[in-house]
Copies of this chain bind each other. A is one copy, B any other.
Amino acid sequence: MTIEATVPETFQGFGIDKPANWNHPKLVQYKRKKINPTDVVVKNIACGLCGSDILTLKADWGTLHRDDAVVGHEIIGHVIAVGDKVTQVKVGDRVGIGAASTSCRSCNRCKHDNEQYCKSGAGTYNSIDKFSDDYITQGGYSSHSIANEQFVFPIPESLDTVHAAPLMCAGLTVYSPLVRSLGTDATGKTVGIIGIGGLGHLALQFANALGAKVVAFSRSSSKKEQAIKLGAHEFVATGEEKDWNKKYDDAFDLILNCASGVDGLALEDYLSVLKVDRKFISVGLPPATKKFEVSPFTFLHQGASFGSSLLGSKTEALQMLELAAEKGVKPWVEEVQLGEEGCHEALTRCDKGDIRYRFVFTGFDKAFA
């Protein structure tokens, strides 16, 4: 059967027309993008809700490019068709797609396990796909997704679909900076994780699974018990323990900020407890206009650096999935029936922080019956 016969021309999804309706997605139909020879077509069965979805829908990260904008980039589904040149997956495979969906695959970055940083690449939604006639990409709150095979990750059999979904963005986003700073065996290293939320609750688990000593940072002690359960060896309530940094002199090989707010984050305190030549990496992203103020002096005494990190490579995604399967890393999820009502409720609650720690939409067959 040809691809054209297998894959519908029109996909369905839950989309919004304008930022004011950010938490009121409606059922929409849209023409799918063309299928390139290295593309994989997936019939979706689950999709996690990522904080980026809300920031995009509200246009806090820039313009919304469609009036039927569908978000979602923690997608799990089954491959239903592949382009002629696809070699990495086959029809029937259960796979995931994260926040990036294509790249040039020929630049220096693409050739060296940094395809997520390709300057010609496209995000999974609200992004211009140069390799598909400038199609504006659509996310996974939808019936189907199409991505270049480099961005399609086979899911190990032992991982449940609902647990695999949040690994596609949140998981990979924290896993990549962890292994780039600590290596795949972090025994003897100490890592600090700031913020126990969608990203942080996975960072705690992965840092522990990699063998590091893990210290969780949160404003209050309300999440202490959960943090310990998630893999933290120590817990610091920075708002309740004013001199906490005195306890951690020259202690950290990495501090990973998973909190999305920058207000009141005591960057200088965190930098003061790093070992020499180490990094503070922020993967929690605030609205684009919010800034940290930093003086070179802040960094001087530890030779410290402040940076960020974008997703992870396919190589890292496969390592991560293997580690999750082996060590039982599992997002804490709340399942939600995909639909107008479910999208509304989950987006609204997530925006208020009323979630521990990830919504995953399921029931796609029913939603698109």
Q: Is A302 an interface residue (CB 8 A)?
A: yes
- Which B residue's beta carbon lies closest to that of A303? B309
A310 touches B306 (CB 8 A): no
Query: By CB atoms of chain B within 10 A, which of A119, A285, A288, A303 has the most?
Result: A303
A309 contact set on B, CB distance < 8 A: 300, 303
CB of A305 within 8 A of CB of B303, answer: no
Interface centre among A119, A286, A305, A308 (most CB of B within 10 A): A308
Taking a contact as CB atoms under 8 Å apart, the answer to whether A310 and B305 are in contact is no
Q: Determine whether the beta carbon of B290 is less than 8 Å from that of A292.
A: no
Closest CB-CB distance, A262 to chain B, in whole Å?
8
Q: Do B292 and A295 have beta carbons less than 8 Å apart?
A: yes
Interface size on A, residues (CB 8 A): 42
Q: Are B291 and A295 in contact (CB under 8 A)?
A: yes
Contact with B along A274-318 (1 / 0, CB 8 A): 011101011011101111111111111111111111100000000
Q: Of the 9-residue stretches A107-115, A163-171, A233-241, A345-353, which lies at the interface with chain B? A: A107-115
Find chain B residues with CB under 8 A from A244 CB.
none
Q: Tell me, yes or no, whether A34 is within 8 Å of chain B by CB.
A: no
Q: Does A117 contact B (CB under 8 A)?
A: yes
- Contact yes or no, A290 B301, CB < 8 A: no
- Could you give, for residues 92-112 of chain A, a 1 whenever the CB lies within 8 Å of some chain B CB and a 0 otherwise? 000000000000000111000
A229 at interface by CB-CB < 8 Å: no
Given contacts A107-B250, A302-B117, A305-B279, is CB(A291)–CB(B294) below 8 Å?
Answer: yes
List, in ascending order, chain B residues with CB within 8 A of A130's CB: none
Asked whether A249 is an interface residue with its Cβ less than 8 Å from the other chain, the reply is yes
Q: A62 to chain B: closest CB distance in Å?
A: 10
5 nearest A-B pairs in the assembled complex, by CB-CB distance? A305-B307, A305-B305, A299-B308, A282-B296, A114-B276
5 contacts between A and B (CB under 8 A): A284-B296, A289-B295, A292-B295, A301-B310, A304-B307
